[in-house]
Amino acid sequence: MAPSKDRGMQLPQGTSSVPRPGKSFLDLPKDVREQIYLRAGVLPISNAEICLLNPRERTMWNPGLNLNYVLNLLLVSKIVSKEVESLFFSQNTFTTPLGCPVHCLRALTALSDNALSSMKWLIIKIRNIPRGWHLLYLHEGYCRCLDGTCRMNEPLNTSYQQDRQLILEWETAVTRLAPYVAKDLHLEIYCDTADIDTAYEFVQPLEQITNIDSKVGGSFSIRLANRRHGPLLELAETTLLRITGKTLPLKSFHGFDKLPKELRLRILSFTDLVSPLTTNWQNGYGFARGCNDFHCISARYCYYYDYQSMCNKHHSMASNFCDCYFDVSSLFLVSRQMNCEATEVFYRQNTFFSEPNDWIQMKYEASEVSYDLNTSLTLNDSDPTGREVQHFFESRSKAALDNLKSIKIIATDFFDAPEHALNQKWDEWVGAFEIYAKRATNQNLEVLIHFQKSQPLKGFWYKHIDAVPPDAWSLEPFRESMEQAVMTLNSFDGVRKIGVEIDWELPYFDEDKFDPNDPIVEKFRAHKKDDRWGAEVARITKHLKETLLGNKYTDKVVKVDDHRDCVDPF
């Protein structure tokens, strides 16, 4: 009887049912195995950090990337573990994180011999955070800086017990690393030292590292101070010569003042001289930001940026050593040349606002405001005598007024204020521009005046839309006042361009709180589509442009191009 087809093919007599062993993973060529490792997750990542969570655990961590599946490959077998470890440490840049330096150095010491010998990029940052923790306080769940001008990392100083302990950990780490340093290793060391004696103790263990060769692609750099210091610079150069065999004479180091002026101004424009948010000015106090403002220049942080790159969160150059920023007011005190150039950047690349007090809060609440908030500084118009803006022009130097480029006058109460109050406000601005015309030599000012009209439905509810008087949509009663204001600005020769904006304040209405089929919601949507006020604004704006301003009129909002959105400015 023939065998059934359901039983499949019969094995020949004398053969075993056990399949023959095939080739293993290790029988594949090494380059093929490396490609498999790379596709499995051993990819070149940016800034993998070496940290120690507890004495028994070594962790390699990268912001936004989970490496657990990479570390699991180290447990497959000894051969696979060695190959993966070699590839992982040779393809990535490793940085001691911005945490406790003692734990970071211990984690570096705990790496295997194969990992240390395979490492190609290593960045070591020695920071002293513990002495700065007492300068922080907790506010609304965030850690705030009590002293805005402090640096969270104090210079290394062997007069402190914790710094002497840090030096001992540093010696142990260098002794462990030195025998395995490859010739093509890129080693960068950052440690700000307080004095020359501390610097000598710090660089002494580096005498064990002598085989970094620049001819085969290796490099070494060291920083011993965050500011130019002659003895520390000489010590850093001597250390560089001993490790790499090459020297950079002191005379080859050029200061910031030796760079071309265009490049100096470009660098300064990436500092907080160009205001990232709102900075207030008050007579007697000068420019200042709130101490609790997370974006303020005194205590601004970014925990997520690539090494030596632009800070994507704040659009500013990120420090390659710490995340604490200096107060930019110190730039004006460096030298006379720096003061002049910082003044030029500060007054030329910012737009100055004159606005009432309540508008400062409206900036953060109104989502439809079209102003350029990235480069704005506010003249706080809180003086009851109406002379705050005049005080600003009187207190500025001639160099500041010569570089002043953009001013924006926000007249939020223009249409609702009494006539005598309106005249007083414009008398203030007339006096301010008279001061500017007398003191400024290079008068090249662009002024944008923003008239904000209260929406005619402000006193009504949406069910009463049909009851709005027809003349409530008209700006004709205010045209004469607007013409007078624009003609006043046009009479000054120092005002090169004048822009006009007319805005209507839309009432707040939350559709989510109503039934979508509610007639009130339908009336609101129809009201938003109604372009009666838009046509009125266009008509008045065209009249001001053609009749009064002519060539002085500008259609663009007065602002300066913001170059800080680029990823790499150099």
| Domain regions of the chain by residue span | 27-253, 262-292+334-565
When pLDDT is cut at 50, 70 and 90, the band that residue 171 belongs to is very high
Instruction: Specify the pLDDT at position 134.
Output: 38
Using the predicted structure, report yes or no on whether residue 216 has a pLDDT greater than 60.
yes
Higher pLDDT, 402 or 72: 402
CA distances from 141 to 144, 149, 290, 292 (A): 9, 22, 17, 12
d(CA 377, CA 552): 24
Please tell me the predicted confidence (pLDDT) of residue 497. Answer: 78
Residue 510: band (very low, low, confident or very high) from pLDDT cuts 50, 70, 90: low
* Residues 432, 388: Cα–Cα separation, whole Å: 9
**For 6-15, which contacts have Cβ atoms below 8 Å and span 24 or more sequence positions?**
none
Question: What integer pLDDT is reported at residue 346 of this predicted model?
Answer: 85
Band of residue 506 on the pLDDT scale cut at 50, 70, 90: low
Collapsed DSSP state (helix, strand, coil) of residue 498: strand
Q: In what order do the strands lie in the sheet with 93-95?
A: 57-61, 48-54, 93-95, 121-125, 186-190, 219-223
C-beta of residue 55 within 8 angstroms of C-beta of residue 101: no
- State yes or no: pLDDT of 369 exceeds 60: no
- Cα→Cα distances 341→348, 443, 444, Å: 10, 18, 18
pLDDT for 274-313, tens place per residue?
765 556 666 665 665 544 333 333 333 333 333 333 333 3
What integer is the mean pLDDT of 528-556?
70
Residue 329 clears pLDDT 80, i.e. is over it: no
Q: What is the mean pLDDT of the chain?
A: 66
pLDDT of residue 299: 32
Phi, psi for 405 (deg, rounded to 5): -120, -40
Q: Taking the model in full, what pTM does it have?
A: 0.49
Q: Is pLDDT at 2 greater than 80 in this prediction?
A: no
Confidence check: pLDDT of 460 > 80: no
> pLDDT-derived band of residue 97, with 50, 70 and 90 as boundaries?
low
Q: Which residues pair with 354 in a beta bridge?
A: 379, 409
Distance of alpha carbon 226 from alpha carbon 461, whole angstroms: 62
State the pLDDT at residue 185.
Answer: 86
